[in-house]
Amino acid sequence: MDFSGKHVVVTGGTGALGSAVVGALLHAGARCTVPCMVEVQATRFAYADDPNVTLIDVSNLANETGVAKAYAGLVASGGLWASIHIAGGFAMGKVAETDKAALMAQLDTNLISCFLCCRAAVNAMRGGGRIVNVAARPGLEWRSGAGMAAYTVAKAGVAALTVALAEEVAKDGILVNAVAPSIMDTPANRAAMPKADFSAWPKVEEVAATILFLASPENKVTRGAVVPVYGRS
């Protein structure tokens, strides 16, 4: 896949999956803009000093003004080819134990942030482009969301947003898709579930490969898909 000359935004780009995506994009020739809390996250980001990576300080992707400002300069700098929305957050919690504040936190972190970034990306793209969102397995398989209903609702919203937006902007040459990972093989997940079968979990590099195709110029027809990336789990 060739991203030469393509400008790509990756939210959540300093995390485990995000770093794998950014690394693959750089290898394919892309220029990457990564919204993040620069002082906090740049120190542990492997690509912070890469000349084709620009880190921009965005402390809250659920803040409408902050997101609009982050994307505002992209048209002037040559336009935007793709926007990949990995940023999000997870929290367990049964419905009986989840108050409104906890519900809204999950909606802000996962759904509202994705919606605002999608909107900003569509407005920054000229002549077509690609958007890739990150849903989750419980967002497709609702029964598996027992014990994490707020997270499940938010990720189901990301899936629905993806399909609806794909229909809206197809005529503009913008193809919108999502991936829905199961639990991925990351150091944090291994530490949280030390007795799990790690070999069954999809690797972040494998999930990144699917994201890269959906975001690439080689993807000419796929839109409105929410692709399960479960591995053998």
Residue ranges of domains in the chain: 7-229
Q: How far is CA 136 from CA 33, 140, 157, 180, in A?
A: 24, 7, 10, 4
Phi, psi of 165 (to 5 degrees): -65, -40
Q: Is the pLDDT of residue 145 over 80?
A: yes
> What gap in Å lies between CA 45 and CA 47, rounded to an integer?
6
Q: How far is CA 23 from CA 53, 74, 198, 208, 223, in A?
A: 10, 21, 23, 9, 24
> What gap in Å lies between CA 72 and CA 69, rounded to an integer?
5
pLDDT of res. 76: 63
pLDDT of res. 64: 96
> What gap in Å lies between CA 10 and CA 150, rounded to an integer?
24
> What gap in Å lies between CA 171 and CA 167, rounded to an integer?
8
CATH dotted code for 7-229 = 3.40.50.720
Phi, psi of 41 (to 5 degrees): -100, -25
Please provide the average confidence, as pLDDT, over all residues in the chain.
94
pLDDT of res. 220: 97
pLDDT tens-place string over residues 19-38? 999 999 999 999 999 998 76
What 8-state DSSP symbol labels residue 110? I
Residues with active-site annotation: 151
Other Cβ atoms less than 10 A from the Cβ of 44: the count is 10
Tokens of 133: 């969102």
pLDDT tens-place string over residues 174-199? 999 999 999 998 998 999 999 899 99
Q: Is the pLDDT of residue 18 over 70?
A: yes
> What gap in Å lies between CA 137 and CA 145, rounded to an integer?
8
Q: What is the pTM of this model?
A: 0.95
Phi, psi of 43 (to 5 degrees): -65, -25
pLDDT tens-place string over residues 102-136? 999 999 999 999 999 999 999 999 889 999 999 99
Measured in whole angstroms, how far is the alpha carbon of residue 209 from the centre of its chain? 13
Q: How confident is the model at residue 223 (pLDDT cuts 50, 70, 90)?
A: very high
Q: How confident is the model at residue 75 (pLDDT cuts 50, 70, 90)?
A: low
